[in-house]
Amino acid sequence: DQQVKQNSPSLSVQEGRISILNCDYTNSMFDYFLWYKKYPAEGPTFLISISSIKDKNEDGRFTVFLNKSAKHLSLHIVPSQPGDSAVYFCAAGLNNAGNMLTFGGGTRLMVKP
Amino acid sequence: KAGVTQTPRYLIKTRGQQVTLSCSPISGHRSVSWYQQTPGQGLQFLFEYFSETQRNKGNFPGRFSGRQFSNSRSEMNVSTLELGDSALYLCASSSGQFLAKNIQYFGAGTRLSVL
């Protein structure tokens, strides 16, 4: 049973436009959510996170929104740049239970110049 | 500051053999977690060690084991390899035990191929 799902395996966006990546989870116990970016031949890199006590967190061009009632989070990238082309993973965990993360399957974002 | 180092980067083994993978965390980090990435299952948590103690364990058979040394370096071992163990094995290190306070940094991984 996949507790964290990213239903879109890929997304193509024009440079300068907004990229919206979505993630759904089923375990209501999760209280901390993260987004990681992965380039080929590299490990995932932390991008942005959000606690379940918030519904929005912003860091530069990246904003994560959390809708607890819908068990849904999204990552907005504005404006999108070609260097943002990568695989994006959402992950969820329990803040007080160590560093164990449950990952979604990933969304490949392609930003076209 | 050096990042998370995983060795070797690539490994080829045959069914039935055993393998040991190594992870050196960022200096000062006491938590090391291991993940398996496969095309079908995505990134799956294997186990986490903090100060030489296993803190969490994922849903993997007993053939998968790990340990952490006093210098925080960690090894994971897979015995009696199966074809399905072919995967990218990723290690992540963190300075503490709370997700909200500590970023996890990943290594580039070890690509294991089982023939």
Q: What is the pLDDT of residues B47-73, one digit of tens each?
A: 999 999 999 999 999 999 999 999 999
Task: Check whether A32 has a pLDDT greater than 80.
Answer: yes
Given CB atoms, is A101 within the 8 Å cutoff of chain B?
yes
Q: In the prediction, which pLDDT does A34 show? A: 96
**Looking at residues B16-21, what average pLDDT do you find?**
98
**Looking at residues A3-29, what average pLDDT do you find?**
96
pLDDT, averaged across chain A:
95
Q: Which residue of B has its CA nearest to A3?
A: B44
Q: Which of A49, A93, A103 is facing B43, going by the closest CB pair?
A: A103
Task: Check whether B101 has a pLDDT greater than 90.
Answer: no
As a whole number of angstroms, the distance between CA B93 and CA B35 comes to 11
From chain A, the residues in CB contact with B56 under 8 A are: 97-100
Higher-pLDDT residue of B99 and A76 is A76
Which of B21, B31, B43 should be substituted to probe chain A, the one whose Cβ sees the most A Cβ atoms within 10 Å?
B43
Task: Check whether A1 has a pLDDT greater than 80.
Answer: no
Q: Which residue of A has its CA nearest to B91?
A: A43
As a whole number of angstroms, the distance between CA B73 and CA A2 comes to 31
DSSP A50-82: EETT-SEEEETTEEEEEETTTTEEEEEESS--G
Q: In the prediction, which pLDDT does B23 show? A: 98
Which of A35, A99, A103, A107 should be substituted to probe chain B, the one whose Cβ sees the most B Cβ atoms within 10 Å?
A99
From chain A, the residues in CB contact with B45 under 8 A are: 100-102
Q: In the prediction, which pLDDT does A2 show? A: 80
Quickly state the pLDDT bin for A47 (edges 50, 70, 90): very high
pLDDT in tens, A84-95: 999 999 999 998
Pairing of strands B74-78, B64-68: antiparallel
Task: Check whether B2 has a pLDDT greater than 90.
Answer: no
Contact across the interface for A98 and B50, Cβ inside 8 Å? yes
**Min Cα–Cα distance to chain B from A14, Å:** 27
Q: In the prediction, which pLDDT does B98 show? A: 85
Please name which of B8, B47, B48, B5 lies closest in space to residue B26, comparing C-alpha atoms: B5
Q: In the prediction, which pLDDT does B39 show? A: 84
Quickly state the pLDDT bin for B1 (edges 50, 70, 90): low
Q: In the prediction, which pLDDT does B20 show? A: 98
Contact across the interface for B99 and A45, Cβ inside 8 Å? no
Q: In the prediction, which pLDDT does B97 show? A: 82
Cβ atoms < 10 Å from Cβ of B3? 14
Q: Which of residues 48-107 of B touch A (CB under 8 A)?
A: 48, 50, 55-56, 58, 90, 92, 94, 97-100, 102-107
Q: In the prediction, which pLDDT does B41 show? A: 81
Quickly state the pLDDT bin for A102 (edges 50, 70, 90): very high
From chain A, the residues in CB contact with B44 under 8 A are: 103
